[in-house]
A = this chain, B = another copy of it.
Amino acid sequence: MARFFMAGTNLPGSPTAILYGRDAEHIRVLRIRPGEEVTICDTKGTDYKCRLVRADREEAELEVLEVTPCRGEPNVAVTALCGLPKGDRVDYIIQKSVEAGVHDIVFFQSARSIARPDDPYRKLERWNRISEEAAKQSGRGIIPQVTWAADYGEVLNTAVHTELPLFLYETGEREGLNTVLEANKTCKSAAVLTGPEGGFEPFEADLARLAGMHICSMGERIFRCETAPVVAIAAVMYATGNLS
């Protein structure tokens, strides 16, 4: 069934929903006919099963049939904090993390980031559009927000305000990700902090340790910077029972 997101919602409590603009156009493009059903998600975790009443170029009117919690949402909120990589690796991290069930994504200028955009905030609109597309396609109940952190202090602060802040590191003294997750299977929030192409500078790991993060190993294999967050999110989802 086709899924639509309606952010500024006219749904709650109303037996009728109206889709405007791009969404109304999309109803037409998909050739959905009156009487057929679609799901509208309020982007806050609630799904509205609707039947199309009428659609024209500007708006589509739908009858709300059923209101249910969106089943696609995991019961753990994982924040991915990623040292900015180059080019389309960013797109990849967003798309795959959203599929894997991430709650929100924060990029930042890591010490070894090769990419150094003049104005990263200008990229946010495009990055959030990638998130929205991936959220629609994978049946998510929220659109994970993509933001930019001005400095590493902000990144660490975000991480340690989750129940389980994980710093994924390739070297030195580390806990096994398995061990840490097995001891925290009931956590309701977590953060996974990963580096750019060249990894982290030692001082970044030291600061994370001082801030109270778990410095974690994912085994002896070396993950590309765009693969590490996805594998780490999948591991958190598995450990917390969200891959069933």
Contacts and interface: CB of A to CB of B under 8 A. Distances in A.
Interface of A: 71-74, 95-96, 99-101, 137-140, 175-179, 181, 217-224, 227, 230-231, 234-235, 237-239, 241-244
Contacts of A181: 238
Contact of A243 (B139, B178, B227, B244): B178
Of listed A222, A227, A238, residue having the most chain B CB within 10 A: A238
6 contacts: A137-B224, A139-B221, A227-B230, A234-B235, A234-B238, A235-B235
A219 B99 contact: no
A227 B139 contact: no
Given A100-B231, A231-B234, A220 B72 contact: yes
Contact of A220 (B99, B139, B177, B217): B139
A176 B222 contact: no
A178 B96 contact: no
A178 to B, nearest CB: 4
B224 A235 contact: no
Contacts of A175: 244
Given A234-B234, A238-B235, A239-B238, A99 B221 contact: yes
A243 B218 contact: yes
B221 A140 contact: yes
Contacts of A220: 71-73, 139
A136 to B, nearest CB: 10
B235 A138 contact: no
A144 to B, nearest CB: 12
Given A96-B227, A99-B227, A234-B234, A178 B221 contact: no
B221 A138 contact: yes
Contacts of A179: 244
Of listed A177, A222, A243, residue having the most chain B CB within 10 A: A243
A219 B101 CA distance: 10
A179 B237 CA distance: 13
Given A231-B100, A231-B234, A178 B224 contact: no
